[in-house]
């Protein structure tokens, strides 16, 4: 009797030469060799760059879930085993022992810094955290109620107008300066957006404070008061940023690479990544979790009743914060966040926050022992407890996704820089399989059939689109 090898065993067999060589595609009696691109960890790739020319067909892979768009040395994920590594370092070790800026250095430069290199990076970032005075007024031109991600995206893109000497992605000096400016100014921008939304005066950066500590001060401090911050809270936010720093070729990272492949500057590329992250299927998950917990708490329903409604697929009832497209086991980041949530809510928690934590833990316990969720690999993900921590710190729900963006910034920069330096770089140009109308010819308007399709100009209780009701 023989047993089927696990993915890890199969991968090891591949590397030991038991299974090796190129792939072979046979189509209409013709064969094409697909060269194997070896991975140091995980799945090898099969090169299909000659497929169209040799066969006249293309691969069709909606969502590119089976297609590697690049080779990369930055992040490795094994979803089946619940592994996440930055530059080879396990996320558990970095979250426990490192700092966000140190991890940023690692992702961008490939190695952990020595003391001198790290201090140089800190000095450079500290010196550039101030925003140009004219640029400060940029944020007041948007409605204070506007979504922070839209304002942040505009702000990052707008940096290019102030630093035109940093736009050439192929100039090492300009590329490095753009890296420093983005890392330095993004927390300042996010704090300005958050404060203006609630009518508080904007604060200048304090170079005497650490990166994360000063971000918290700029977000919540007052100009006429000293502001002391619990070091445990600083450490918790620092750790959350580390956990979000990179995650391989996700939607926003792929967007950064695609825009950058046209040699667009780093600001434009990162701004595009912010736009992708703003989507509720990507960066807005922690907001959705908090809304779910609020609903359970305010309705007074038990977690068992809520889980029953989820399993019955009742309208408007969804279990948020469980499952992941990549991780088919426990999200390695989730266990770290869960422990942190306990600590932060103990230090800062209110009765409201404590009750939400209880609900979250009850949901997790129920889901982990229920066959419905276990069979579907619906384990808690990193978003499940993150919103609780942000809320306990005082961040409004709308600011959760900008915090995600701040954490993901080093990964976007690292991926952009790696892409620019890649000799195999090509401008992104995906193919398609066209299934629309075949050739047809123009018909004069008076001869066309009446289109019975309803023009979506109206909605109940809302003025018609045919009327201008606001400028």
- 418 with 73: CB under 8 angstroms? yes
Q: Is 26 in a helix, a strand, or coil? A: strand
Q: Return d(Cα 50, Cα 464) in angstroms, integer.
A: 52
The catalytically annotated residue of 78, 214, 246, 383 is: 383
Report which of 169, 402, 187 is spatially closest to residue 263, judged by C-alpha positions: 169
Q: Return d(Cα 255, Cα 276) in angstroms, integer.
A: 7
Kindly calculate the radius of gyration of the chain based on its CA atoms and give it in whole angstroms.
25
| CB atoms inside a 10 Å sphere around CB 461 | 5
451 given a catalytic annotation:
no
- Beta strand pairing call for 89-90 and 83-86: antiparallel
Q: Which two tokens stand for residue 224?
A: 């006429």
The catalytically annotated residue of 78, 128, 324, 331 is: 324
Q: Return d(Cα 323, Cα 320) in angstroms, integer.
A: 8
> Per residue, what are the HEC states of 57-96?
CCCCCHHHCCCCCCCCCCEEEECCCCEEEECCEEHHHHHH
Q: Return d(Cα 420, Cα 169) in angstroms, integer.
A: 7
Q: Which residues neighbour 231 within 8 Å (Cβ) at sequence distance 6 or greater? A: none
Q: What is the DSSP letter of 445?
A: G
354 class by beta-carbon count within 10 Å (0-12 exposed, 13-18 middle, 19+ buried): middle
At residue 152, φ and ψ (nearest 5 deg) are -60, -45
Give the helix, strand, coil percentages of the chain, each rounded to 5. 55, 5, 40
- B/e letters for 55-72, b = 16+ CB within 10 Å, e = fewer, are beeeeeeeeeeeebebeb
- 308 with 373: CB under 8 angstroms? no
Which strand ranges, in their side-by-side order, compose the sheet holding 89-90?
A: 75-78, 83-86, 89-90
324 given a catalytic annotation:
yes
Catalytic residues: 324, 383
């Amino acid at each position: 009797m023989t047993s089927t090898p696990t993915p890890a065993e199969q991968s090891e067999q591949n590397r030991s030469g038991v299974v090796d060589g190129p792939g072979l595609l046979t189509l209409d009696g013709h064969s094409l060799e697909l060269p194997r691109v070896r991975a140091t960890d995980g799945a090898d790739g099969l090169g299909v760059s000659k497929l169209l020319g040799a066969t006249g067909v293309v691969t069709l892979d909606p969502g590119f879930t089976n297609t590697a768009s690049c080779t990369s040395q930055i992040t490795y994920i094994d979803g089946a085993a619940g592994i996440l590594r930055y530059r080879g370092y396990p996320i558990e070790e970095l979250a426990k022992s490192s700092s966000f800026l140190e991890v940023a250095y690692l992702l961008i430069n490939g190695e952990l810094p020595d003391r001198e290199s790290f201090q140089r990076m800190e000095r450079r970032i500290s010196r550039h955290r101030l925003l140009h005075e004219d640029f400060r007024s940029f944020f007041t031109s948007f409605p204070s109620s506007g979504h922070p991600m839209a304002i942040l995206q505009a702000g990052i893109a707008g940096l290019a107008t102030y630093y035109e000497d940093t736009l050439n992605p192929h100039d090492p000096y300009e590329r490095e300066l753009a890296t420093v400016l983005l890392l330095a100014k993004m927390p300042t921008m996010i704090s300005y957006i958050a404060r203006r939304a609630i009518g508080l005066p904007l604060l200048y950066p304090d170079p005497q404070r650490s990166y994360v500590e000063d971000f918290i001060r700029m977000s919540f401090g007052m100009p006429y008061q000293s502001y002391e911050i619990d070091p445990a809270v600083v450490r918790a936010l620092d750790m959350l940023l580390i956990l979000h720093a990179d995650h391989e070729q996700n939607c926003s990272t792929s967007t950064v690479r695609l825009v950058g492949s046209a040699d667009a500057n780093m600001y434009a590329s990162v701004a595009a990544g912010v736009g992708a992250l703003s989507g509720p299927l990507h960066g807005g998950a922690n907001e959705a979790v908090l809304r779910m917990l609020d609903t359970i708490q305010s309705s007074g329903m038990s977690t068992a009743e809520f889980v029953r409604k989820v399993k019955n697929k009742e309208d408007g009832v969804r279990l948020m914060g469980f499952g992941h497209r990549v991780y088919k086991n426990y999200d390695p980041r989730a266990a770290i966040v869960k422990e942190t949530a306990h600590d932060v809510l103990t230090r800062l928690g209110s009765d409201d926050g404590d009750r939400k934590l209880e609900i979250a833990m009850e949901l997790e316990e129920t889901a982990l022992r229920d066959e419905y969720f276990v069979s579907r690999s619906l384990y808690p993900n990193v978003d499940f407890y993150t919103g609780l921590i942000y809320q306990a710190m005082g961040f409004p729900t709308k600011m959760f996704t900008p915090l995600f963006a701040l954490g993901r910034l080093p990964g976007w920069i690292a991926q952009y820089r790696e892409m620019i330096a890649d000799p195999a770089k090509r401008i992104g140009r995906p193919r398609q399989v066209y299934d629309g109308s075949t050739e047809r010819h123009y018909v004069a308007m008076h001869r066309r059939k009446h289109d019975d399709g309803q023009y979506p100009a109206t909605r109940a209780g809302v003025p018609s689109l045919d009327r201008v009701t606001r400028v």
